[in-house]
Amino acid sequence: MGSRVATIEHLPRAKTPRTFFRRLRAGDHIAWAITALAAAAVLAITLLLVWELYSSSALARTKFGWSFLIGRTWDPVAGEFGALPFLYGTVVTSALALAMAVPLGVGAAIFLAELAPPRISDGLTFIVELLAAVPSVIYGLLGIFVLAPLMRRAGAPYGVGIMTAAVVLAIMILPFIVSISREALLSVPREQREAALALGATRWEATWQVVVPYARLGIFGSVFLALARALGETMAVTMVIGNTPQIGASLLEPGYSIAAVIANEFTEAVEDLHLSALIELGLVLFGLTLVLNALARLLIVMTKRKGAEQ
Amino acid sequence: MTRRKITNAVMFGLTGLCALLTISVLFFILGYLVYYGGRSLSWDFFTQLPAPPNEPGGGMANAIVGTGKLLLLTALIGVPIGFAAGVYLAEFGGRTFSSIVRYTADLLNGVPSIVIGIVAYALVVVPMKRFSLLAGAVALSIIVIPITIRTTEQFLRAVPHSLREAALALGARKWQTVATVVIPAAFRGVLTGTILGMARVAGETAPLLFTSFSNQFWNRGLDEPAATLPVMIFNYAISPYEEWRRQAWAAALVLLTLMLAANLAARLVLSPRGARHG
Amino acid sequence: MVDNLEIVREARPHAAAGPKLVVSGLNFYYGDKQVLHDISLAIPPNQITALIGPSGCGKSTFLRTLNRMHETIRNTRAEGQVLLDGEDIMAMDVVQLRRRVGMVFQRSNPFPKSIFDNVAYGLRVNGWMRKRPLAEAVEHSLRRAALWDEVKDLLHESAYKLSGGQQQRLCIARALAVDPEVLLLDEPCSALDPIATAKIEELMFSLKETCTLVIVTHNMQQAARVAEHTGFFLHGKLIEFNRTEVIFKRPRCKETEDYITGRFG
């Protein structure tokens, strides 16, 4: 078979010079190399980031060890650095913000996903996404000049403080909770809804007893993402938290957060130990958001997978 | 039965109220900025350098130009890296390495911007021994890279496989297929995502505080500190001077207008529903 | 199985050339799953060869191995030999191979570019840059695809403005522009109405002079109308390959007869 075939002559075809084709073929390797290099750059940047935070905080870590996290005194002049007031401020403002934003955000998401007609829902979601694009320094500006006077009237001695920061944070994370929860709700299969309605449930019962539980992992995911953002939020908090390293008796009193102290003191830190302590705070913040982001992604992926199985 | 119906109406009414409250925040913000900012805006704001404290007049011309320069530099450093990495993930990547890169990009995306400021400080400011526009651009690039990667990969993957097949069947090489068919087909989507990403970093303040720092005068080079709108808003808002606070409102109005314009342009005009061709 | 080289010679006693494509012992795998079993056949030059069979029988997969398009899908593996004019295609540069063996797909897939740029695409990626020859080649290809008169005033409009049938002919013109020796058509008419289908069949006849055509179709009448030879695939095996009239009038295998007479799926 082979020999007979091999004798066939075919029409000679125009041949392009070999070098041209070799150059074209090299194009695949070049394109691969350039893009792979860029992809590797992402890894390099991230590794550099972790290494930089770790190595630059060495001084503070060796000096204070784990007691850094529970120390209550932050005194750059005396060279004594404890992170507890900042941890407290960060965690408490974020938790309060969640407590305010989650019910509001999930409620709004239910409205957008279940009740509003698609066109209206899309329009409103667009506005929510614009809200997410407002720079945090603008939230801070409004926090100082609009919210703080209101808080003073409501009983906060200085206007600024933990509670003020929490309110600003709640407003800032609201768009994230709304848009991600809405997506989680929309990814619930129609059959789930219809099954409940067919059994005689009202629309609200179908939503609350079937749809929301079904989407709960995605909603939790949105909460974790929002929490991660709240923990790392710097400008708005710096402008309204009061910047006092204390653990006040009242939530209306001023406090301080990790991100805020870095923002305020980083350029003024002349002592190596001070700078190192600030960077260690950065490391702590990084660790916190890392864990939360990982959890959030896991939950969101799990809901999606659940939706895909149906 | 009626009680269930009432619950139904009340609960959905409440969710509607939640939505209304959420939406109203935007109009509340806009209203305040237009009211306070509009009163403080003047031609001088766009053309003059900042005036010393307690002196009337002055503007933020240097900060407007500074933000422009910073964004341009970020677009030159961060966007190409993010775009190329996104192309790698969508078109060239092997499985394991790609998922590592994808995961890392997500991780980087979640790092608080103040922490990124610390790293840019260590990488650029410390070796150069001064605050600089370049350091600010490096910080913003680190923020914009993961955003660009994600949108690029997403929109390239949305290009139908049949178009790749058509090109390959015509004897196009892989890189030619990507460069002449896949990327052009995804171009609008990628551009939209990039504009949104740039709009987001345009408002970043925290990573600039100790990288590009601030400057009461014109920035004259990449290795000099530069005034930017977000940092000026911060510095002026917390200052004790009435005139500076008024300027902070004006700057906030300008910044927000730019951001909203970029968002509207990207989402409504350029690409109403993501990547579309034809 | 019938020795199909015999058939080829029988069919074209005066043809100077032997088969254009010779496939021997082709096995194909998606991951661990074998979807083609030991396929051997010879495709005669300047004729139309049709491949028929129920869906999922492997005919499209087989077609795609002929210009190695299967390589664009992960986790696939082809074993065996395919000779194009006696040259092993697995050893050829894949880009050169695909220039010589073009392909038209089931769903028309024009690029989101102008009509002109669509047809010029294959030439441009192969290094044609000068305007005049490019324009001539585009016109020539569109004429061969019998589309020129319909689109000559719309050359710089988007290809998506054309009707489905026109888009499919545009894809054929695009494939013809690089002057392939073999044109593989994967159910090219499945999404088209009867009038558009007739146009494409007419076009296939006119292409025989310069091209060898292999068409996969689920439409038996179409195979009977256009093809000199027909192969019947079932469960990843080539059951029978013969002159079309033999396949349709007195098939030698029971399975073929069942399928032809509709006693099947």
With contacts defined as CB-CB under 8 Å, which chain C residues touch B173?
95, 125
Tell me: the pLDDT tens digits for C206-220? 999 889 999 999 888
Query: Domain spans of chain C?
Result: 4-260
Say whether C93 and A16 touch across the interface (CB within 8 A): no
With contacts defined as CB-CB under 8 Å, which chain C residues touch B184?
112-113
- Asked if A69 has any chain B CB less than 8 Å from its own CB, the reply is no
Cα–Cα distance for residue pair B189/B200, rounded to 1 Å: 17
With contacts defined as CB-CB under 8 Å, which chain C residues touch A13?
100, 179
Cα–Cα distance for residue pair C53/C51, rounded to 1 Å: 7
ipTM: 0.91
Token pair belonging to B123: 């990488």
Cα–Cα distance for residue pair C23/C101, rounded to 1 Å: 14
Say whether B170 and C175 touch across the interface (CB within 8 A): yes
Domains contained in chain B, number: 1
In a domain, B91, yes or no: yes
The segments of chain A whose pLDDT lies below 70 read 1-25, 303-304, 306-310
> Taking Cα atoms as reference points, which of B197, B87, B195, B191 lies closest to residue B142?
B197
Q: Which of B12, B245, B267 sits opposite A204 (nearest CB)?
A: B12
B40-62 burial code (b ≥16 CB/10 A, e <16)? bbeebbeeebbbeeeeeebbbbb
With contacts defined as CB-CB under 8 Å, which chain B residues touch C183?
none
pLDDT in the model for residue C5: 53
pLDDT in the model for residue A285: 96
B94: closest chain C residue by CA: C74
Under 8 Å CB pairs connecting chains A and B tally to 265
Q: Assess whether pLDDT exceeds 50 at residue C13.
A: no
Say whether A7 and C83 touch across the interface (CB within 8 A): no
Cα–Cα distance for residue pair C222/C209, rounded to 1 Å: 20
**Is residue C90 within 8 Å of residue C172, measured between CB atoms?**
no
**Which residue, chain included where needed, has tokens 């603008």?**
A138
Interface with C, mutate which of B92, B156, B168, B170 (most C CBs under 10 A): B170
Q: Cα–Cα distances in Å, from A42 out to A284, B73, B143, B144?
A: 22, 18, 11, 11
Instruction: Please tell me the distance in Å from A238's CA to the nearest CA on chain B.
Output: 10
- Asked if A115 has any chain B CB less than 8 Å from its own CB, the reply is yes
With contacts defined as CB-CB under 8 Å, which chain C residues touch A6?
86
Q: Bridge partners of C81?
A: C24
Token pair belonging to A226: 């929002």
Query: Model confidence at B102, in pLDDT bands (50, 70, 90)?
Result: very high
CATH number for B168 = 1.10.3720.10
In a domain, B33, yes or no: no
Mean pLDDT confidence for B25-42: 91
Q: Which of C98, C158, C175 sits opposite B168 (nearest CB)?
A: C98
- Asked if C171 has any chain B CB less than 8 Å from its own CB, the reply is yes
Under 8 Å CB pairs connecting chains A and C tally to 36
**Is residue A289 within 8 Å of residue A194, measured between CB atoms?**
no
pLDDT in the model for residue C73: 84
Looking at the domain that runs over A67-309, which CATH code has it been given? Answer: 1.10.3720.10
Long-range contact list for C135-143, CB < 8 A, 24+ apart?
C137/C177, C138/C177, C141/C173, C141/C174, C141/C176, C141/C177, C142/C173
Q: Assess whether pLDDT exceeds 80 at residue C3.
A: no
Number of residues in chain C? 265
Tell me: the pLDDT tens digits for B192-207? 999 999 999 999 999 9
Query: Model confidence at B2, in pLDDT bands (50, 70, 90)?
Result: confident
List residues of chain A with CB under 8 Å from any CB of chain C: 1-2, 4-10, 13, 16, 20-21, 24-25
Helix extents (H) in A147-245: 148-153, 162-186, 190-198, 203-205, 212-214, 216-232, 235-240
**Is residue C218 within 8 Å of residue C55, measured between CB atoms?**
yes
Instruction: Please tell me the distance in Å from B34's CA to the nearest CA on chain A.
Output: 12
Say whether C18 and A25 touch across the interface (CB within 8 A): no
pLDDT in the model for residue B256: 95
With contacts defined as CB-CB under 8 Å, which chain B residues touch A128?
22-23
Strands C182-186 and C212-216, bridge-based pairing: parallel
Cα–Cα distance for residue pair A283/A50, rounded to 1 Å: 8
Q: How many other C-beta atoms can be found within 10 angstroms of the C-beta atom of residue A55?
A: 12
> Taking Cα atoms as reference points, which of C63, C147, C73, C159 lies closest to residue C111?
C159
Q: Is CATH 3.40.50.300 correct for C4-260?
A: yes
In a domain, B181, yes or no: yes
User: In whole numbers, what is the pLDDT of chain A averaged over residues?
Assistant: 87
Backbone angles phi, psi at C127, to 5 degrees: 100, 5
Query: Domain spans of chain A?
Result: 12-56, 67-309
**Stretch 151-190 of chain A: residues touching chain B, C-beta under 8 Å:** 171, 174-175, 178
Say whether A1 and C126 touch across the interface (CB within 8 A): no
Which structural domain range is residue B186 located in?
43-270
Q: Bridge partners of A80?
A: A75
Say whether A52 and B179 touch across the interface (CB within 8 A): no
Mean pLDDT confidence for C64-84: 90
pLDDT in the model for residue C14: 43
Query: Model confidence at B276, in pLDDT bands (50, 70, 90)?
Result: very low
Q: Which chains pack against A, by 3+ Cβ pairs within 8 A? A: B, C
Q: Which chains pack against C, by 3+ Cβ pairs within 8 A? A: A, B
Tell me: the pLDDT tens digits for C114-133? 999 999 999 988 877 788 88
**Is residue A110 within 8 Å of residue B15, measured between CB atoms?**
yes
Cα–Cα distance for residue pair A286/A49, rounded to 1 Å: 10
- Asked if A103 has any chain B CB less than 8 Å from its own CB, the reply is yes
Say whether A49 and B115 touch across the interface (CB within 8 A): yes
